[in-house]
Amino acid sequence: MHFELSEEQQMIRQAARDFAQNELKPGVIERDEHQKFPSEQVKSMGELGFLGMMVDPKYNGGGMDTVSYTLVMEELSKVDASASVVVSVNNSLVCYGLEKYGTEEQKEKYLKPLAAGEQIGAFCLSEPEAGSDATSQQTTAEDKGDYYLLNGTKNWITNGSTASTYLVIAQTHKELKHKGINAFIVEKGTPGFTVGPKENKLGIRGSDTHSLMFNDVKVPKENRIGEDGFGFKFAMKTLEGGRIGIAAQALGIAAGAYELALAYAKERKAFGKPIADHQAIAFKLADMATQIEAARLLVHKAAWLKDQGLSYTVEGSMAKLFASKVAMDVTVEAVQIHGGYGFVKEYHVERLMRDAKITQIYEGTSEIQKLVISRSVLA
């Protein structure tokens, strides 16, 4: 067992760190304030290869491993979780799902531009009445012979208006319950497909979250992913990898807040010395550093398992459960260490604290992760 990163992994991490500091940090406060999607930055991330990192180079991907992907997610999320969620969804949910389960034609047509970062994708599972209970899909996909007719509404869709390619989960054979669910590739602009207004969110305000409406949308049969009825398994398998990405995002949010708090604690003086020299603050920093390191180990272990082709269902859920709790705890402490300054936007930590919360909610709430883990330990 060894814990060292390869030279290549260290280089990728450095590239992401530089990009985050030089390209994401300027303007991040304004984008958060005005809910502005980081369009230019996403374009640059595509050029850097961050949007299709793990995809085979023959489909325009970077051919990198999952550990490298978590390193990039951590570095980007230290600064801008609204930008990093685009990276996470595009890599883990959309590109992975298409590469692993798509046909050759689907990969040629849809995966290639997504992996090259020329387009971005969205993953559409959640519904007004089906969030955690994902088997209860109300969106229907009626089999009409050479096409499916899609009707229904999806909620909370990341990249909702900026995506070009949408992976949509819908019920085809209601009587078969989850075994009757399918996954489809739906193109933006297909008649009957409309995007609802942007959500006004607590955190990751720069990210583009919308509801989507499907009203008699014709989806060609060749756009179904996998066999008839494979849609629920497709969603579950894809989300397993997604959870590693979000765990890395949570880790990055925590680490970003910690780094700011550490620097501030060394500079800020109170009672005649830097506040870091007061044990009350020093012990907080020690706890934060320990929590972050533990989260990082879980994230890297889950990513490593995936890279080895081993099962990572439980480890991915553990990483997400733990790292998202660390993100909440550490960001709250980072605000506390900053005192009054922590409560104003210029110091960044209040944004990281708001951004942290979503990591306990999307791609499966903490309760869902506990469900997955407890089923495994009780089996």
Q: Of 46-54, 126-134, 255-263, 287-295, which segment contacts ligand CAA by CB under 6 A?
A: 126-134
Of residues 172-191, those binding ligand CAA (CB under 6 A): 178
Which residues, in sequence order, are bridge partners of residue 123?
Answer: 167
Plot region of 274 (φ>0 → left; ψ -120 to 50 → alpha; else → beta)? beta
Binding mask 94-123 for ligand CAA (x = CB under 6 A): -----------------------------x
Where in 31-90 is the site for ligand CAA (CB under 6 A)?
Answer: 89
In angstroms, the CA 75 to CA 259 distance is: 12
Residue 198 in contact with ligand CAA, rule: CB under 6 A? no
**Does the active-site annotation cover 8?**
no
Residues 216, 149: contact at Cβ < 8 Å? yes
Q: Does 362 bind ligand CAA (CB under 6 A)?
A: yes
DSSP letter at 190 equals -
Q: Is 372 in the site for ligand CAA (CB under 6 A)?
A: yes
Put residue 212 in one of left, alpha, beta given phi > 0 → left and psi -120 to 50 → alpha: beta
Pick from 5, 116, 236, 373: which binds ligand CAA (CB under 6 A)?
236
136: which residues sit within 8 A by CB, 6+ positions away?
A: 127, 129, 130
**Residue 178 CB-density burial (10 A; 0-12 exposed, 13-18 middle, 19+ buried):** middle
Rule CB under 6 A: say whether 313 interacts with ligand CAA: yes
Catalytic residue among 75, 240, 315, 363: 363
Number of residues that bind ligand CAA (CB under 6 A): 23
Q: How far apart are CA 55 and CA 137, in angstroms?
A: 29
Q: Does 347 bind ligand CAA (CB under 6 A)?
A: no
Instruction: In whole angstroms, give the CA distance from residue 360 to residue 324.
Output: 5
**Residue 375 and residue 79: Cα distance in Å, rounded?**
35
How far apart CA 39 and CA 35 sit, in angstroms, is 12
Q: Which among 64-72, 131-139, 161-169, 297-305 is the span making contact with ligand CAA, rule CB under 6 A?
A: 131-139
Taking residues 138 to 177 in sequence order and writing x for each that binds ligand CAA by CB under 6 A, - otherwise, the string is: -------------------xx-------------------
Q: How far is the CB of 61 from ligand CAA (least distance, A)?
A: 20
Under the criterion CB under 6 A, does residue 312 sit at the interface with ligand CAA?
A: no
Contact residues toward ligand CAA (CB under 6 A) are 89, 123, 125-126, 132, 134-135, 157-158, 178, 232-233, 236-237, 239-240, 313, 362-364, 368, 371-372
Residues marked active site are found at: 363
